[in-house]
Amino acid sequence: MVMMGEMWGQLGSVIASVMFVSAMFQNYFPYELSRGIEKYCHKFLSLFYPYIKITFDEYPSDGYERCKAFAAIERYLAANSSATAKRLKANLVKNSKSLVLSMDDYEEISEKYEGAKLWWTSKKFHPTSQSISFYPREDEKRYYTLTFHKKHRDVITKAYLRHVLDEGKAIAVRGRQRKLFTNNNSESWYGYRKNMWSHVVFDHPATFETWALDPKKKQDIISDLLTFSKAKDYYAKVGKAWKRGYLLYGPPGTGKSTMVAAMANLLEYDVYDLELTAVKDNAELRKLLIGTMSKSIIVIEDIDCSLDLTGQRKSKNEKDEKKEVNDAEDVKKAKEASESKTSQVTLSGLLNFIDGIWSACGGERIIVFTTNHVEKLDPALIRRGRMDKHIELSYCCFEAFKVLARNYLDLESHPLFATISKLLDETNMTPADVAENLMPKSAEEGSETCLENLIKALEAAKEEARMKAVEEEKLLKAEKEDKLKA
């Protein structure tokens, strides 16, 4: 029995070698001849040969998209072949920091899985078409073949292939470069859907460790995010699309955008920064949503300034109030919004985007709105279920300051901390301003000077607030006197 097995094994490898050589020589012999040899070998083999062969093409005959199974096998073999294959290809990936070795073309490796021996071979062929292409490798078709004894059919086709595909997918997730996308104007949406979004490598250094916030609040946010990312089965059980909405609100410079970056880094998600004013209408908005991938955060910044989403629901007085934007930051944002193209995205379009029937496509997605004025948003837009978690980011507290002091000055404690704690209780300063004051302005500035700078800035802010309050009181008093006189 063993002898028979060996004989078949030897015959198998002889014939496999003939096929391998024919594949090698197809670059030199006419294509018809080499394919002919292979065809007759196959016929001959099928009479006696107890081995099964499965082919995985890089591109399926009926599609343009690269086959996902091929890509997963490629990654699996790259990770598992470098110890056994004799000829390897080297590739630089991930910002050219790491070298990845993978099986070279026409190389063969063998592997054992639950007692079953199997062989992987990587091959390629060039179709005879003489067409001229601008893409140098476009006509090259690569494929992998998997060979194993027919007695292992079940274990290979059921368990082993599942294992290879899962492992290939996991390697992709571990090694992928995350991306930051922004939506293109619809005039450039020609051809394939890839033109809807442009991307750069997402490389933001913000993390929850460096993000300054009250530790209890921070821990609550982290566990909410981690619970969400592991809750696929739970969402399926309760019949909800696997997505979660976050509303981040608070004054400018309190860390809303920084928090989005920290969220993406924690969950290893991509970020889609959706510029609503560049979206023409609701249909475009839906297409953009379908064009996003899972494991991503879709963020709409300054939602109150993006569009007049509240128009139909608000009374005229409220609209007039809305126009009275006296905060310098608001004036800038409102101006930017009005300068951009007029968009016909409506509130109902946006509501559908968040939790309409299409929102379930893809799964594992977080939608984040940021705003400086939560009170201006339509309640329908931010009700629970749409924006599940409302997080207020406010002025810097002492706990948040300690995180910043650790980040910027490597300080855990200092005698000046007590003064700073008192001043932070008495006045409002954003984490952005605190961080700016803590940054050394020259190489000579030590941590004590930076803390003193912060104290000066806090005292100045306190004095400014006091003066403002006095002014307001004066105005009120004058108004009252005017009324009395009238």
End-to-end CA distance of the chain: 116
What is the rounded distance in angstroms from the CA atom of residue 222 to the CA atom of residue 25? 58
Main-chain phi, psi angles of 413, to 5 degrees: -155, 165
By CB under 6 A, what part of segment 308-347 binds ligand ATP? none
Among 211, 246, 249, 272, binds ligand ATP (CB under 6 A): 211
Q: 34 CB contacts (<8 Å, ≥6 apart)?
A: 22, 23, 25, 26
For residue 351, what is the enclosing H or E element? helix 347-355
Using the contact rule CB under 6 A, the part of the chain among 3-11, 77-85, 249-257, 272-280 near ligand ATP is 249-257
CA dihedral 145, 147, 152, 154 (to 10 degrees): 20
Judged by CB under 5 A, the number of residues near Mg ion is 2
Which of 22, 102, 254, 292 forms a contact with ligand ATP (CB under 6 A)? 254
Q: Which CB sits closer to ligand ATP, 325 or 432?
A: 432
Q: How many CB atoms lie within 10 A of CB 347?
A: 18
Stated as kind and residue range, the H or E segment containing 408 is helix 398-409
Judged by CB under 6 A, does residue 368 bind ligand ATP?
no
Shortest Å distance, C-beta 243 to ligand ATP: 22
Structure tokens at 312: 């139909």
Nearest approach in angstroms of CB 317 to Mg ion is: 29
Residue 435 within binding range of ligand ATP, rule CB under 6 A:
yes
372 binds ligand ATP (CB under 6 A): yes
| Chosen residue from 9, 252, 363, 440 binding ligand ATP by CB under 6 A | 252
Name the minimum Å distance from CB 145 to ligand ATP.
52
Residue 211 touches which member of ligand ATP, Mg ion, none, C-beta under 5-8 Å by kind: ligand ATP
The DSSP result for 193-233, as a single string, is GGGGEEEEE------TTTS-S-HHHHHHHHHHHHHHHT-HH
Least CB distance from residue 204 to ligand ATP, whole Å? 10
**Burial (Cβ within 10 Å: 0-12, 13-18, ≥19) of residue 469:** exposed
257 makes contact with ligand ATP (CB under 6 A): yes
Q: Judge contact between 390 and 319, C-beta under 8 A.
A: no
| Residue in 255, 291, 349, 362 binding ligand ATP, rule: CB under 6 A | 255
Residues 78-117: x where in contact with ligand ATP by CB under 6 A, - otherwise, as a string? ----------------------------------------
d(CA 271, CA 64): 26
**Residue 372 touches which of Mg ion, ligand ATP, none (Cβ within 5-8 Å per kind):** ligand ATP
For residue 253, state whether it binds ligand ATP (rule: CB under 6 A): yes
Residues 89 to 128 in contact with Mg ion, rule: CB under 5 A? none
Report the residue from 26, 145, 257, 310 that binds Mg ion according to the rule CB under 5 A.
257
Q: Under the criterion CB under 5 A, does residue 147 sit at the interface with Mg ion?
A: no
Structural contact between residues 264 and 204, judged by C-beta atoms closer than 8 angstroms: yes
Of the candidate spans 7-15, 429-437, 442-450, 451-459, the one that interacts with ligand ATP by CB under 6 A turns out to be 429-437
The 3 state secondary structure assigned to 15-81 is HHHHHHHHHHHCCCCCHHHHHHHHHHHHHHHHHHCCEEEEEEECCCCCCCCCCHHHHHHHHHHHHHH
Applying CB under 6 A, which residues contact ligand ATP? 211-213, 252-258, 372, 400, 431-432, 435
Applying CB under 5 A, which residues contact Mg ion? 256-257
